[in-house]
Amino acid sequence: MVETGAWRRRAWLAGMAAAVAAPLHRASAATSITLTVAAYPAVDAIVKAALPAWRQRHPDVAVNVVSRQYGDHHTAMTTALSTSVYLPDVMALEASYLGRFSTGGGLDRLSLPPYDGGALQSRFVPYAWSSALNPRGELVAVPTDIGPGTMLLRRDLLARAGLAAAYLQPSWEAYVAAGARIKAATGAYLISNAQALKDILIRTGIGPGEGLYFDRDSRVLVNSPRFVRAFELAREVRRQRLDARVNAWSNEWAEAFRRGRLATELSGAWMVGQMANWVAPDTRGQWEAAHLPGQTFVGYGGTFYAIPRRSEPARKAMAWALIRLLTLDPTLQLAAFKAEDAFPALLDVHEAPFFDEPLPFLGGQPARRLWRDAARRITPVQVHKQNNFADEVVGTELDNVMDRGKPIAEALDDAERLLQRRAHR
């Protein structure tokens, strides 16, 4: 999964809201148990919206939702798991953090009794389910939402260049060639930053037993054809000055969308909601969605619920019941999709009529069908606890290639050496 974009999205949204840590429902005299759920925006809102349904089933079990900003939440969960202090009963985890949490032994193995969560596998999008397994194949979290990748295209800019979406889709080389035509005809950039191409292309062509940067035995994989191709394509985009060289979720990035300076965006399906509500609402009707170029299918983030291994044993049964409600109830999953653009990991929801409805921001295009198709074609990628560190290393080396002329082979050799030193930590 493309974690970096999802992280920036969460951080950007979190910065718009004050962190809160208050009980949603105060225990009454009849309450016998109080569960604590640790979450971040907008997962906290989804949990709170589900509580009326929870109280109907369990009126004697109160729920406190403790919400922190995205980065603060995951830092707090890391500390809680390592010290066993202030452990919640249920914790929400973003996909980019799941690797480091799943390998440390701090989460309950939900595939084992008394949970027996393995029986739920057929109900979830396959790649999301695989992401919730630790290296031993044990379930340590349950997926709730996903971010199938999509390409958003600015119709008016393509029209001025004499292009249609189909011209950008056959291959990544066609995508870059179309970008050159768009730049010549309109002055607009193809993409915000060439790093985004690298983030996608290194996630294609991953073999069995391999992860993104490491295989199942923690061998480093960056010296491989998929990394070479990703670096070559990103370098070419930078060489032709087709990227605006702005970072996602920055003020400059948002302003470029508002001013019609970016012709495409490669992101998760949730980006449409962010564009419509926060980033560039005045561009409504000027965009359309398509699959990523070259029949590429990747995921952008996602949310999972887990139970800390050392949380209070007397509350674990109710914690599991709450996770099951949040992840398996089609009505609640659909409500979260409508309210928070939380694309359901639950397959039961995927045939809902809501998927056929037109999206006003996309000029009436029923794009959810497209994203549903993409979600089912994403290949699972094995997670590793050092993936976030590897993201930083590889991104830095790509900057060295694009901006300082460092040879690609030398950059990947240097990245490999650094990652080898961290692989088994």
Domain architecture of the chain: domains with CATH: 3-147+300-368 (3.40.190.10), 150-299+380-422 (3.40.190.10)
What's the rounded Cα separation, in Å, for the pair 79 and 72? 11
CA-CA distance, 289 to 286, in Å (whole number)? 11
| Whole-structure pTM value | 0.89
CA distance 67 to 38: 6
How large is the angle between the packed helices 316-328 and 330-340, nearest 10 degrees?
Answer: 70
pLDDT in tens, the chain (425 residues): 564 444 344 443 443 333 333 333 333 444 589 999 999 999 999 999 999 999 999 999 999 999 999 999 999 999 999 999 999 999 999 998 887 888 778 999 999 999 999 999 999 999 999 999 988 889 999 999 999 999 999 999 999 999 999 999 999 999 999 999 999 999 999 999 999 999 999 998 887 778 899 988 889 999 999 999 999 999 999 999 999 999 999 999 999 999 999 999 999 999 999 999 999 999 999 999 999 999 999 999 899 999 999 999 999 999 999 999 999 999 999 999 999 999 999 999 999 999 999 999 999 999 999 999 999 999 888 778 888 899 999 999 999 999 999 999 999 999 999 999 887 76
CA atoms within 13 A on the CB side of 165: 16
Query: What pLDDT is stored for residue 12 in this prediction?
Result: 38
State the Cα–Cα distance between residues 288 and 362, nearest whole angstrom.
5
**Alpha carbon distance 174, 198 (integer Å):** 16
Q: What is the pLDDT, as a whole number, of residue 26?
A: 38
Taking the C-alpha atoms of 225, 228, 229 and 232 in order, what is their torsion angle to the nearest 10 degrees?
A: -160
Sign (positive or negative) of CA dihedral 179, 184, 185, 188: positive
Q: How many residues does the chain have?
A: 425
Distance CA 12, CA 153 (A): 22
Q: Pairing between strand 343-344 and 287-290?
A: unpaired
User: Is residue 352 exposed (0-12), middle (13-18) or buried (19+ Cβ within 10 Å)?
Assistant: middle
**Predicted pLDDT of residue 144:** 98
